[in-house]
């Protein structure tokens, strides 16, 4: 029985079958592939050499199954599954889970870059038809198409053009070298090197539009301080937000809270500085931090202190 397909195509077909059902007999697999059992073993060995944990199963016919590997392996998915994943990632962009934002953006960029145009149009139409709940994490909506383009430009190291409206209402066309897309508190930001201003800039994604690839690749620079979240936090204008300082206990891991705000060490203890554009957002952040971390001190304004007490009183009454 001749194997008319190339080894790569046959290996992908074999991988798809192993994903489709928990276990196969060697005879059934060979029959589905249209090859001999000897040729099947060669394809199995090829998958194993690529890192896929194909396990042999003892029995009369002998068999194979795809075991659990030590790393995440590429998946073969159908068109419908690709559409479902892309729509889910776009919706998550409006309601990011803490600590998952970077992973979500990266996944969206990778998936969007390989979607055929026919599927991309279906994804856009379906995502636009779904209404998000009122408890969306971000204060202002961000266009998922814009988010996807910016994430891909960061990943691929490609210069990016987009229209931008500054805080004073000035409209400009920006040419940048994008480095990271991040969520800081309740907003999405792009950290980029502005080629026309020859300096680092942060851009709010809810103020950006018409993002498009410039067609020029660049070598990424080192973001000042090395941490894009801290970079955005430090550049936010003081006095325009509600603020709080949370003094953390000695057992709190710095890496576990660095994405919530600016972390500083004072008198041997970590201090977490929080800001929010609205009082209710800051109170939400404080309640999460107090519930999940060892908090030994708190510095807030009188307004925030009063509102926190009101929340606690309400919880006590309802509990």
pLDDT at 9: 76
Which residue's entry shows tokens 């709190």? 252
Residue-wise pLDDT tens digits, 144-189? 788 888 988 988 889 999 999 987 788 999 999 999 988 776 678 9
Mean per-residue pLDDT for 45-70?
77
Please give the backbone phi and psi of residue 53, each rounded to the nearest 5 degrees, phi first: -80, 70
Beta strands in 145-291 (DSSP E): 158-165, 171-184, 187-194, 199-204, 208-217, 242-248, 262-266, 269-276
When the pLDDT of each residue in the chain is averaged and rounded to a whole number, the result is: 79
Is 272 within 8 Å of 260 (Cβ atoms)?
A: yes
pLDDT at 2: 46
pLDDT at 147: 84
Total number of residues shown for the chain: 319
Most confident of the following: 139-153, 174-188, 203-217, 221-235: 203-217
Least confident of 157-171, 235-249, 270-284: 235-249
Mean per-residue pLDDT for 219-247?
81
Partners of 271 in the β-ladder: 247, 264
pLDDT of 14 higher than 50: yes
Distance (Å, whole) CA 49 – CA 240: 57
């Amino acid at each position: 029985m001749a194997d008319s397909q190339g080894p790569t195509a046959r290996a992908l077909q074999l991988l798809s079958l192993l994903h489709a059902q928990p276990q196969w007999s060697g005879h059934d697999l060979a029959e589905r592939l249209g090859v001999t059992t000897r040729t099947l073993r060669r394809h199995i060995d090829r998958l194993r050499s690529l890192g896929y944990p194909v396990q042999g199963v003892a029995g009369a016919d002998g068999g194979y199954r795809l075991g659990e590997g030590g790393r995440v392996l590429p998946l073969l998915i159908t068109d419908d599954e690709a559409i479902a994943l892309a729509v889910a990632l776009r919706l998550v962009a409006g309601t990011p889970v803490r600590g998952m934002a970077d992973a979500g953006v990266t996944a969206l960029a990778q998936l969007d870059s390989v979607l055929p145009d026919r599927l991309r149009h279906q994804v856009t139409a379906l995502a636009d038809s779904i209404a998000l709940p009122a408890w969306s994490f971000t204060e202002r909506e961000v266009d998922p198409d814009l988010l996807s383009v910016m994430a891909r430009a960061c990943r691929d190291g490609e210069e990016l053009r987009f229209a931008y409206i500054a805080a004073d209402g000035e409209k400009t066309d920006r040419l940048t070298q994008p480095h990271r897309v991040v969520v800081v508190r309740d907003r999405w930001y792009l950290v980029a090197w502005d080629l026309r201003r020859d300096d680092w800039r942060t851009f709010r994604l809810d103020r950006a539009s018409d993002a498009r690839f410039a067609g020029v690749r660049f070598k990424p620079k080192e973001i000042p301080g090395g941490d894009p979240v801290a970079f955005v936090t430090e550049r936010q204008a003081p006095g325009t937000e509600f603020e709080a300082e949370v003094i953390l206990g000695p057992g709190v891991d710095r890496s576990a809270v660095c994405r919530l705000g600016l972390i500083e060490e004072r008198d041997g203890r970590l201090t977490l500085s929080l800001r929010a554009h609205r009082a209710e957002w800051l109170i939400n952040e404080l309640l999460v931090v107090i519930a999940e971390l060892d908090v030994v001190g708190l510095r807030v304004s009188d307004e925030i202190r009063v509102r926190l007490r009101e929340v606690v009183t309400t919880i006590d009454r309802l509990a």
